[in-house]
Amino acid sequence: MSKINLNMLRELKASKARFFSITLLLALAVFVFVGLKATTPDMNQTMRHEYAQANLADAQLSNSLGFSSSEITDIQNDKTVKSISKGLQTTSLTSDGKHVIDIISIPEKISKLVITQGHQPKKSNEIVLGEQLKDSYNIGQKINIEHNDDLKSKQFKIVGFATSSAYMKKNNLGQTNLGDGKIDAFAGVKKSSFTNADPNILQIKFKNLSGKAYQDKYEYALRHKVTHLQNKLNNLSEQRRNNLVSDIDDKINQAQATQTVLSKQKALTSNDTALQTLNNKQAELADQINQAETQKDTISQLEYTAQSRGQFSVGYSDMGSDAKRITGLSNTFPIFFFAVALMVSFTVMRRMVEEKRVEIGTLKALGYSNYKIASEYYLYAGLTSIVGTIIGAGLGLIILPKVIFNSFAANYVLNDVYLTWHITPVLVAFVLTLLSTVFAVFLAIKPLLAQQTTVIMLPKAPTTGKKILLEHLTWLWNKLSFSRKVTARNIFRYKGRMWMTILGVAGSTAMLITGFGMQQSLNKMVPVQYGEITHYQLLGVFNNKAKNADDYGKK
Amino acid sequence: MQMSEELIRLSNVSKIYNAHQDNEVRANDDLSFTIKRGELTIIVGSSGAGKSTLLNTLGGMDSVSEGEVWINGSDISGFSEKQRTTYRRQEVGFVFQFYNLIPNLTALENVELANEIAQDPIDAKEAMKSVGLGKRMNNFPPQMSGGEQQRVAVARAIAKNPALLLADEPTGALDYHTGKKILKIFQDYVNDTGKNVIIVTHNSLIKPMADHVIEIVDGKIKQDVFNDHKIPVEDLEW
């Protein structure tokens, strides 16, 4: 090894603290930057894996009565639809009143369930529960539900647990008027467990949808297609309503015709018993006509709904916006870390070159070229950058996305975060570190080497002392002890040092306050909202279309 | 004195700071002299006289304001920074008053530092032995005395095998006896190799050991004489 290289190597060994303090500080800045930059795409990729594994539908169509086969064919033939999966769904309360469950028929191809324990139901009295309930029930147990017209049985044997990309949250999976108003979990049963044959849920995959989940390309295109399908559904539902209503009208007409006949009959009879029978029949018919009218009201509220992923999948939108939130953070937080790291390493590298002034001069006197002398320092600086970037990026790519994802996913039922490489932020971070190391050396060594060799070999002339402003306040100045005076002078003499200290402390304090502030603000939200702002425990809504609406308020 | 060819010729050389201003300083003022090959030359003068400036010019460490500096057939006064660096590397060995050794390297490595960039160097170990430090090669400068460090510096300068060995107040930081030893090394070097040594000093009492004495006062040459009968330094007392 050449002696000039050996010299730098020995310098490295002799000042390990300096080398490692710069390296680790840079590593920290790189860690935060690369880690945060990697988090959003990693979170999105993780979700995309979930969706791919389940083959999550692009859209879900639903209606309370169920879709007829001709309606399904109509939808299938729509030019935007690639494939449809038919399913049934109903909501039930458990007999012990503790859980409200969305029970669905096991999806075959689209929006599949992923079995995490046990196996799929093989018989119609078997059930697979969502992971949301894995702490409340065991495999092999029986689960009882309150009577539900849609299901053949009230008791099921639990044969497994599963996850679903349509029900990703751990709780509060939707609103219902059963139990406490919130859906707690989903569960899967065989189609044969349902009483009704007409599917009331259609899972849709669209043609010509490019882009990935959460990309604008995908989400905007999806919205268009869903709107298009909704229009189609509006037509279908109108037809259905009209058909149903005309059926009922027919029945009403028939009943009214019978009423007329009965009235005529009544007019012709004088027999009391016969009259009584006729009156009874008329009352029955009147009842039936009333019921039919009510039915027409209910039918007028029949809607077919088309929902995009953000609407039917509980957790889809939230996870997307959670990931996006981190992007904002990744553009601001690292600035502080880098600012502090850059300032410190900049100062240290410059000081190192200044310290070695006489040695640099000696080498120059011996006949070493500026290039050869400077390259040693560039090597040292470059090494801190490289090592710092490797450590920071390595840890950042692994730790931060995992930690952040897990904190968001704590309330979800999801697999582990999916980590990937992100070269661009690593390269950007590396260049930034070079600014504070290699560039710092450049700024210090270039003017130094430009001087005459004999000047370099002499120690640097100290800067002349200056009186500071405070000294003009003689009454105050005279009260200070000598040490205090020296301190005051020093603060202003070494301005660079002063600013570094102030900015460094300011930046670090800002970050601490931000962190704690955020934590405290978020913790305050629930008590303030539900303790001070919202004072009710229950909300009741008047349904002015109800049968007894007019009776409300009367005694 | 035998007739030998010229190694150095200075013609009207001046080094001027703040030229044409009120605070103009002429560190070297219109110097002209000649140094022949194989000379032991002493440049003597009191502090601030301008002798170090002159030595720096001869060593290619500094540029001149006026005049010509012919060394070994080239006029180095017109050299660029790069050319001067090359000249320094190949033709000059420098010994400084404060040794200027690299503390992170051993004595031997310090010598190798110089010898690695030279074209036709002497073996570093040989150079160390020739200054009597064959046993101290693996010590670091902070572990050595002043005299030993200066000898390392001399070995470093010699190892390059330069045409010209320059020493700026080499005994300034040393005691009388140690200083004498160093001067003896220079003297023996001239006698053994026939190469030039130029020593700058403020101690006029060692003038008798040189072939050629140049006295500088106030930046100008006051005296430029040759000793017909020089006295070996070990016989000098001061």
Asked whether residue B32 is assigned to any structural domain, the reply reads: no
Of the partner residues B61, B92, B101, the one whose CB lies closest to the CB of residue A454: B61
Are the beta carbons of A457 and B85 separated by less than 8 Å? no
- pLDDT band of residue B1 (cuts 50, 70, 90) is very low
Question: How much is the pLDDT for B3?
Answer: 46
pLDDT in tens, B118-149: 988 999 999 999 898 999 899 999 999 988 99
* Of residues A417 and A405, more confidently modeled: A405
Shortest Cα distance, chain A CAs vs residue B123, angstroms: 15
Reading the block at residue A153, the tokens are 């049985």
Which site among B81, B87, B91, B117 would you substitute to test the A interface, given the most A Cβ atoms closer than 10 Å to its Cβ? B117
Asked whether residue A542 is assigned to any structural domain, the reply reads: no
pLDDT in tens, A290-315: 888 888 888 888 899 999 999 999 99
Residue % of chain A over a pLDDT of 70: 98
DSSP strands (E only) in chain B? 6-17, 25-36, 40-44, 66-71, 74-75, 92-95, 164-168, 196-201, 212-217, 220-226
Asked whether residue A544 is assigned to any structural domain, the reply reads: no
My answer on whether A325 and A457 are in the same domain is: yes
Q: How many CB atoms lie within 10 A of CB B49?
A: 22
Q: Which residues contact A339 (CB under 8 A, 6 or more apart)?
A: A503, A507
Asked whether residue A94 is assigned to any structural domain, the reply reads: yes
My answer on whether A291 and A361 are in the same domain is: no
My answer on whether A119 and A8 are in the same domain is: no
Of the partner residues A2, A4, A454, the one whose CB lies closest to the CB of residue B62: A454
Residue bearing tokens 């003009």: A472
pLDDT in tens, B23-44: 888 888 899 999 999 999 999 9
**Which residues pair with residue B9 across a beta bridge?**
B34, B70
Of the partner residues B52, B103, B114, the one whose CB lies closest to the CB of residue A366: B114
My answer on whether A255 and A383 are in the same domain is: no
Residue bearing tokens 């990026």: A393
H/E segment holding residue A412:
none
Question: How much is the pLDDT for B157?
Answer: 94
My answer on whether A354 and A404 are in the same domain is: yes
pTM score, whole prediction: 0.81
8 Å CB contact between A368 and A49 = no
Which CATH number do you get for residue B184? 3.40.50.300
**Closest residue of chain A to B158, computed from CA coordinates:** A366
pLDDT for residue A224 is more than 70: yes
Are the beta carbons of B117 and A454 separated by less than 8 Å? no
Average pLDDT over residues A124-153: 92
My answer on whether A279 and A341 are in the same domain is: no
Strands B25-36, B6-17: pairing is: antiparallel
Q: What's the total number of domains in chain A?
A: 3
Shortest Cα distance, chain A CAs vs residue B62, angstroms: 6
Are the beta carbons of B117 and A6 separated by less than 8 Å? no
Contacts with B92 from chain A: Cβ below 8 Å: 367
My answer on whether A132 and A178 are in the same domain is: yes
Contacts with B86 from chain A: Cβ below 8 Å: 367
Q: Which domain holds residue B177?
A: 38-63+87-235
DSSP A171-187: S---B-SSTTSB--EEE
- Of A166, A195, A224, the one marking the end of a domain is A195
Question: How much is the pLDDT for A9?
Answer: 93
DSSP strands (E only) in A26-105? 59-62, 81-87, 89-93, 100-105
pLDDT in tens, A356-385: 999 999 999 999 999 999 999 999 999 999
Asked whether residue A217 is assigned to any structural domain, the reply reads: no
Are the beta carbons of A368 and B117 separated by less than 8 Å? yes
**Closest residue of chain A to B165, computed from CA coordinates:** A366
Asked whether residue A467 is assigned to any structural domain, the reply reads: no
DSSP strands (E only) in A145-229? 155-164, 185-189, 201-206
Q: Measured between alpha carbons, how far apart are the two ends of chain A, in Å?
A: 105
- Residue A495 φ/ψ, nearest 5 degrees: -60, -40
pLDDT in tens, A406-465: 998 898 988 788 888 899 999 999 999 998 899 999 999 999 999 888 889 888 888 777
The reply to whether B15 touches chain A by the CB within 8 Å rule is no
Asked whether residue B159 is assigned to any structural domain, the reply reads: yes
Question: How much is the pLDDT for A207?
Answer: 92
Three-state DSSP class for A106? coil
ipTM here:
0.90
My answer on whether A170 and A259 are in the same domain is: no
pLDDT in tens, B58-111: 999 888 999 999 998 889 998 998 999 999 999 999 999 888 999 999 999 999
- pLDDT band of residue A490 (cuts 50, 70, 90) is confident
Residue A426: C-alpha distances to residues A33, A391, A396, A430 (Å): 8, 11, 10, 6
The reply to whether B80 touches chain A by the CB within 8 Å rule is no
Q: From chain A, which residues contact B within 8 Å (Cβ)?
A: 2-4, 6-7, 10-11, 14, 358-359, 361-370, 452-454, 457
Contacts with A370 from chain B: Cβ below 8 Å: 85
What is the distance between the alpha carbons of residues A327 and A317, in angstroms, rounded to a whole number?
16
Query: 3-state DSSP helix/strand/coil percent for chain B, to nearest 5?
Result: 35, 25, 40
Shortest Cα distance, chain A CAs vs residue B53, angstroms: 9
Question: How much is the pLDDT for A126?
Answer: 95
Q: Closest Cα to residue B194, out of B36, B58, B33? A: B36
Q: What's the total number of domains in chain B?
A: 1
Average pLDDT over residues A459-487: 84
**Closest residue of chain B to A13, computed from CA coordinates:** B104
Asked whether residue B18 is assigned to any structural domain, the reply reads: no
Q: Measured between alpha carbons, how far apart are the two ends of chain B, in Å?
A: 26
Q: Which domain holds residue A333?
A: 3-52+314-461
Are the beta carbons of A359 and B102 separated by less than 8 Å? yes
My answer on whether A269 and A323 are in the same domain is: no
My answer on whether A173 and A255 are in the same domain is: no
Q: Which residues contact A498 (CB under 8 A, 6 or more apart)?
A: A491, A492
Shortest Cα distance, chain A CAs vs residue B45, angstroms: 19
Contacts with B82 from chain A: Cβ below 8 Å: 369
Shortest Cα distance, chain A CAs vs residue B238, angstroms: 30
pLDDT for residue A283 is more than 50: yes
H/E segment holding residue A113:
strand A113-118
Reading the block at residue A554, the tokens are 């009367």
What is the distance between the alpha carbons of residues A312 and A284, in angstroms, rounded to a whole number?
43
My answer on whether A365 and A265 are in the same domain is: no
- pLDDT band of residue B4 (cuts 50, 70, 90) is low
Phi-psi region of B38 (alpha: psi -120 to 50; beta: other; left: phi over 0): left
pLDDT for residue A547 is more than 70: no
Are the beta carbons of A364 and B85 separated by less than 8 Å? yes
pLDDT in tens, B162-216: 999 999 999 888 889 888 989 999 999 999 999 999 999 988 899 999 999 999 9
Give me the total of CB pairs closer than 8 Å, taking one residue from chain A and one from chain B. Answer: 69
What is the distance between the alpha carbons of residues A394 and B87, in angstroms, rounded to a whole number?
49
Q: Which residues contact A482 (CB under 8 A, 6 or more apart)?
A: none
Q: Which residues contact B224 (CB under 8 A, 6 or more apart)?
A: B33, B212, B213, B214, B215
My answer on whether A141 and A43 are in the same domain is: no
Question: How much is the pLDDT for A82?
Answer: 94
Asked whether residue B187 is assigned to any structural domain, the reply reads: yes
Are the beta carbons of B62 and A369 separated by less than 8 Å? no
